[in-house]
Amino acid sequence: MAGKFGKFIFGLRRRLFGDPPPKVAVLPLYGVIAAGGRFRQALNLASYAQRIEEAFAIPGVSAVALLINSPGGSPVQSAMIANRIRALATEKHVPVLAFAEDVAASGGYMLALAGDEIYADESSLVGSIGVISAGFGFEKAIAKVGVERRLYTAGESKAMLDSFSEEKEEDVERLKHMQSEIHENFKKMVRDRRGKRLKGLRGKIFSGEVFTGTESVKLGLIDGIGDLRTVMRDRFGEKVKFQVLSEKKPRLGALLGLGQSADTAYTQTGEMADLPKGLLSAVEERLFWNRFGL
């Protein structure tokens, strides 16, 4: 109802005062991509769905701009966000332009593929079209301190690649098979979205390598070098207006610590119950950025 009323007001103003300046909705997509609860500032569909809808619902919007600064993360959440953006772009007939900032790599590049066009800075890091899985093996460490691992499962593959058990060759092969499937899905998405614009050798493009913005243009991974303001003013004129869809400010109760969540649960004594979890999450999140020297 609010959307229809907004369109009515927009149409009325247009009749009374003439055409308003072009309007671009700006949607920042920053951070590691992960399902809710894993990181404090996770980028996922659940937390961004409303903002995505709002971007395309702005009356008279000329385009939606995606500001991307992400080292990647969950391929599922990446695809879900990109697919939601594409569905609304098709439904509303609104063009989408993506702008890579420091990094749009792995799942971050998957987000950029939601754009009809992709731009970046010369020094932006783009690509990393591959799949990675990392972990630790603690079986020798626990043996050294005299700890016995007890693990009971129903299903021979239920404890695949358990960090406290000896690595099995068949488990590694199974993991590689799954990674290969996910990689093929990623490559298909790149081919579907970039099409004939891809210019480089496919072996290099899909190797998991990361490229600068300058090299990404040569490979056809992006369409040009440019920033949001410059590109949009060239396209829509100097009077173009930008409406940023940023995160809603927390309520007063949250600021005072009156609300609880999975990430900020407190014990009755006032100590943070999930401090170890928070520290591990911070380290893991830091590792995503460190892969690209950021």
Distance of CA 246 to the CA centre of its chain: 15
Structure tokens at 289: 């950025």
What 8-state DSSP symbol labels residue 249? Answer: P
Q: Where are the domains of the chain?
A: 2-128+209-250, 132-195
As a CATH number, domain 2-128+209-250 is 3.90.226.10
Q: What is the DSSP string of 228-241?
A: HHHHHHHHH-TT-E
Predicted TM-score (pTM) of the model is 0.75
Cβ atoms within 10 Å of 105's Cβ, excluding its own: 28
Q: Give the span between the Cα atoms of 211 and 124, in whole angstroms.
A: 8
Q: Find out whether 40 and 278 touch, Cβ atoms under 8 Å.
A: yes
Query: Tens of pLDDT along the chain (294 residues)?
Result: 555 665 566 566 556 655 788 999 999 999 999 987 666 678 999 999 999 999 999 999 999 999 999 998 999 999 999 999 999 999 999 999 999 999 999 999 999 999 999 999 999 999 988 877 665 666 666 667 767 676 667 766 666 666 666 667 776 778 777 888 989 999 999 999 999 999 988 889 999 899 999 999 999 999 999 999 999 999 999 999 999 998 765 554 444 444 444 343 334 444 444 545 555 556 666 665 566 655
Element (H, E) at 65: strand 61-70
Distance (Å, whole) CA 143 – CA 244: 54
